[in-house]
């Protein structure tokens, strides 16, 4: 699954030694969309061999006082959780992206800020994605659920299935039928920007400037106490909280963020699910990524009609590389059942993520579709022309 030559050309023009390693989230709200729909999209770029499953969890009631086991820590459970469909790394409780039965979609991105990343185990950003979907009936409801949990429990912990330390803070794109919110965090602090029309994308960097629509009550006082803001000039969230010496992956992601913005702007006023899929499949920009140890391991596109009488439709690949994957639809209904072919095997207490010390061994988390996709890719590489004489392109 090597990168297309166009991707190499893009990197050379941008003066980059390698493709930027990051996820990308996109949203189009009318009039950015061709129809009266909100369109959400995300590519999840993760370690190359990590398996991403698509799992459906029905709405559920929980006894008062019950506890919830997230990836690393337990937190109090709420009495009612919403039905969700999630695209998630198979080893963790949380999700990279997903939707609930109220037409809410959430995706997250890694980010580093002036606030130190905690070395202790807390809630992963991916846990917060799932918690926001299970507890929020709107984009704002999911945002308030995430920020409340962030303040109570913090964020932190190993973010990949490997003993080598790798942790980060998170930004989120939260979308419903009416609006979108960009939520950017720095430790337990946060700022948010409301988006009501047009197109917007996020990547592995802070993007909120002076247009802060909501914020942590101590956001500005902490920034002033740390000497990051003088308390008098304009408060620009990204300028105040972006690190002075950002990790290389954040610098590389700037080009990718710019490429995503340009693609959205090219289609502003005509965005459809097909357009969003084409953006996620775009290799020259690096959005469809295949670089070193990372690649796009799962992708999602959702169509959220403004007309609440129409169902939301969510498309998932459940396989790596959207340019070589089919986006398969999911619609919430009273008869939604798990599709076991895209659900990974479970290992219970023997799972390396549950043992201490964690991640000392590997298990085979491939689900049936992932295995079939791998086989099809090998067939395409050894026999790129089908029996009809046409090139094989999608699997």
User: Residue 52's closest CA among 318, 275, 385?
Assistant: 318
The two structure tokens encoding residue 309: 């009488």
Beta strands per DSSP E along the chain: 24-29, 37-47, 52-57, 60-61, 67-69, 74-76, 80-81, 84-89, 97-100, 105-111, 169-175, 180-186, 189-195, 198-202, 214-215, 290-291, 294-305, 313-316, 328-330
Q: Give the length of the chain.
A: 395
> Are the beta carbons of 24 and 255 closer than 8 angstroms?
no
Phi, psi angle pair for 392, to nearest 5°: -80, 130
Q: Distance (Å, rounded) from C-alpha 49 to C-alpha 182?
A: 29
Catalytic residue among 23, 25, 70, 312: 23
User: Residue 290's closest CA among 49, 13, 40?
Assistant: 49
The two structure tokens encoding residue 316: 């998932």
> Helices 5-14 and 248-266 meet at what angle, rounded to 10?
110
Cβ neighbours, 10 Å, residue 198: 18
Is 23 noted as a catalytic residue in this protein?
yes
Phi, psi angle pair for 190, to nearest 5°: -160, 155
Lay out the sheet containing 97-100: strands in order across.
Answer: 52-57, 84-89, 97-100, 105-111, 169-175, 180-186, 189-195, 214-215
Is the backbone peptide bond immediately before 29 cis, with ω within 30 degrees of 0? Answer: no
Q: Distance (Å, rounded) from C-alpha 181 to C-alpha 196?
A: 9
The two structure tokens encoding residue 184: 């950017």
Question: Which residues are identified as catalytic?
Answer: 23
């Amino acid at each position: 699954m090597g990168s297309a030559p166009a991707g190499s050309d893009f990197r050379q023009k941008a003066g980059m030694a390698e493709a930027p390693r990051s996820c990308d989230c996109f949203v189009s709200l009318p009039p950015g969309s061709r129809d009266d729909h909100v369109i959400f999209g995300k590519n999840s770029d993760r370690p190359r061999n990590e398996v991403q499953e698509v799992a459906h969890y029905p709405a559920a009631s929980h006894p008062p006082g019950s506890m919830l086991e997230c990836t690393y820590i337990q937190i109090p459970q709420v009495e009612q959780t919403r039905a969700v469909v999630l695209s998630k790394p198979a080893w963790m409780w949380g999700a990279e992206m997903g939707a609930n039965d109220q037409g809410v979609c959430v995706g997250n991105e890694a980010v580093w800020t002036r606030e130190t990343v905690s070395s202790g185990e807390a809630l992963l950003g991916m846990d917060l994605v799932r918690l926001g979907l299970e507890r929020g009936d709107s984009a704002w409801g999911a945002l308030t659920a995430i920020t409340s949990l962030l303040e109570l429990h913090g964020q932190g912990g190993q973010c990949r299935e490997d003993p080598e330390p790798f942790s980060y803070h998170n930004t989120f794109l939260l979308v419903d039928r009416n609006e979108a919110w960009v939520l950017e965090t720095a430790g337990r602090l946060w700022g948010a920007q409301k988006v009501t029309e047009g197109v917007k994308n996020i990547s592995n960097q802070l993007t909120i400037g002076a247009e802060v629509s909501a914020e942590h009550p101590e956001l500005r006082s902490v920034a002033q106490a740390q000497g990051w803001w003088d308390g008098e000039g304009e408060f620009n969230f990204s300028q105040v909280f972006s690190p002075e010496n950002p990790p290389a992956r954040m610098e590389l992601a700037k080009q990718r963020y710019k490429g995503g913005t340009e693609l959205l702007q090219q289609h502003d006023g005509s965005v459809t699910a097909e357009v969003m899929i084409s953006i996620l499949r775009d290799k020259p920009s690096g959005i469809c990524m295949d670089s070193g140890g990372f690649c796009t391991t799962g992708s999602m596109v959702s169509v959220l009609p403004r007309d609440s009488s129409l169902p939301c439709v969510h498309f998932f690949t459940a396989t790596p590389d959207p340019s070589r994957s089919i986006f398969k639809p999911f619609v919430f209904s009273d008869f939604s059942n798990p599709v076991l072919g895209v659900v990974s095997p479970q290992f219970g207490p023997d799972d390396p993520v549950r043992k201490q010390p964690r991640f000392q061994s590997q298990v085979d988390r491939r689900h049936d579709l992932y295995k079939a996709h791998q086989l099809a890719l090998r067939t395409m590489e050894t026999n790129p022309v089908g029996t009809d004489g046409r090139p094989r392109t999608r699997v």
